Amino acid sequence: MPAGSALLVRSWLFCPGSKPERFAKAASSGADAIIVDLEDAVAPTHKADARRHAVAWLATPPTPPIVRCLRPNALRTPDGLRDVLALVDAGVGPDHLVVPKTESPSELAMLDAVLAGPLATIRFLPLVETARGLGAVDAIAAHPRVAGVVLGGADLAADLGAELGWEPLLLARARLVQAAATAGVAAIDVPHLALGDVDGTRVEADRVRRLGFTGKLAIHPEQVAPIHDAFTPAAADVERARRVLAAVAAAAGGVAVVDGKMVDAPVVRGAERVLALARRRR
């Protein structure tokens, strides 16, 4: 599993694009990835300035090294088109582009065509924020440039006419996890919106990890540590993963058995991911 894989990113920390003085602080927060946001966190009158700040940030090497992401405005808006064209004009791009309000793979196909050539290495993280997007989540997740799918919980709840809570969004979370698992990409959960509620962040992160999510968005540096607590494998899980891979190696192509259970390909992939996560810094 590549070291830069979105499947290994536990925390994705948002930072307002209109606050360039916070970029370095966000990168030093301990988060696995930062998302400079040009959409919800930026007032309409500051969009152009935020765009310039983001391009300048992407034009310089990250310090410290970190996964860098950008959330442009929705592609169906003039500001969203300007955001993407600014990357093309400057010839710079993030590791991942968080694509807001994605409702069909055709939107990603258009983006794929625009971000070609030198920007073809940018991977997409489509945000599922509408009922229409949730209905197309399997096709969205399957697009070849998608590295993960992201739950936009607040907007999705509003579009569904549902409350922003665990039970009302459980089906949506399960659908997104299923689509991500089928496509072999990351499943990223909505941020815990109650600032100062570190315990609540930890509990919610643990619940979504057990559901199958691979990481969670964060809106404040204080949320990074509890997210890592939830998504960093426990010692017992690491020990079992090592035994799984050792048994597969010893079987030399034959049937491997651990704890009385046959080891198949999905179990091996899970063990590899556990060990890769365990190697990450806390």
pLDDT in tens, 180-234: 999 999 999 999 999 999 999 999 999 999 999 999 999 999 999 999 999 998 8
* Together in a domain, 217 and 186: yes
The pair of structure tokens assigned to 279 is 């190697």
* Together in a domain, 224 and 244: no
Model pTM score: 0.90
Q: What is the pLDDT of residues 156-169, one digit of tens each?
A: 999 999 999 999 99
* Together in a domain, 134 and 240: no
Q: What is the CATH number of the domain that holds 222?
A: 3.20.20.60
- Taking the C-alpha atoms of residue 133 and residue 149, their distance in angstroms, rounded to an integer, is 11
Q: Which residues of 226-260 are buried (b: 16+ CB within 10 A; e: fewer)?
A: bbbebbbbeeebbebbeebbebbeeeeeeebebee
* Number of domain units in the chain: 2
Residue pair 136/104 in contact (Cβ under 8 Å)? The answer is yes
Distance of CA 255 to the CA centre of its chain: 35
Q: Is residue 1 part of a domain?
A: no
Look at the alpha carbons of 173, 127, 35, 6 in this order and tell me if their dihedral is positive or negative.
positive
Below-70 pLDDT ranges, the chain: 1-4, 280-282
* C-alpha closest to that of 221 among 10, 8, 57, 14: 14
